């Protein structure tokens, strides 16, 4: 199987100022980074082979596989994130 897609997700950059950032607080326990995180996702496709043609008919929403600090690559447990942060990440990525 190929590599999962990776996204650079900047927490707190969505709407406005300090209020949004404080609501979206997330900090790497190893290096203190609170801005950039690497979110690895996996997306499934249904592929049909017809004669000499390949068609991708169905596409599932991406699932979050792993979250890493973009500075030191420490793995973070996505389930431990505040619900608001998890929901914002999933919504931004169109994931489940």
Indicate the pTM of the whole model: 0.64
Q: Strand 36-42 and strand 75-76: pairing?
A: unpaired
pLDDT of residue 1: 43
Identify the domain containing residue 81 by its residue range. 5-93
Band of pLDDT at residue 95, cut at 50, 70 and 90: confident
Mapped onto helix, strand or coil, the DSSP state of residue 34 is coil
> pLDDT per residue over 51-73, tens digit each?
889 988 777 888 999 999 999 99
Residue 23's pLDDT band (boundaries 50, 70, 90)? very low
Q: Name the domain count of the chain.
A: 1
């Amino acid at each position: 199987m190929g590599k999962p897609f990776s996204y650079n997700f900047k927490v707190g950059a969505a709407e406005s100022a300090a209020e949004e950032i404080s609501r979206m607080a997330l900090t790497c326990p190893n290096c203190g980074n609170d801005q950039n995180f690497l979110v690895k996702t996996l997306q499934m496709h249904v592929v049909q082979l017809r004669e000499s043609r390949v068609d991708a008919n169905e596409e599932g929403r991406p699932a979050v596989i792993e979250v890493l600090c973009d500075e030191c690559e420490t793995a973070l447990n996505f389930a431990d994130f505040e619900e608001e942060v998890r929901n914002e990440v999933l919504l931004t990525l169109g994931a489940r």
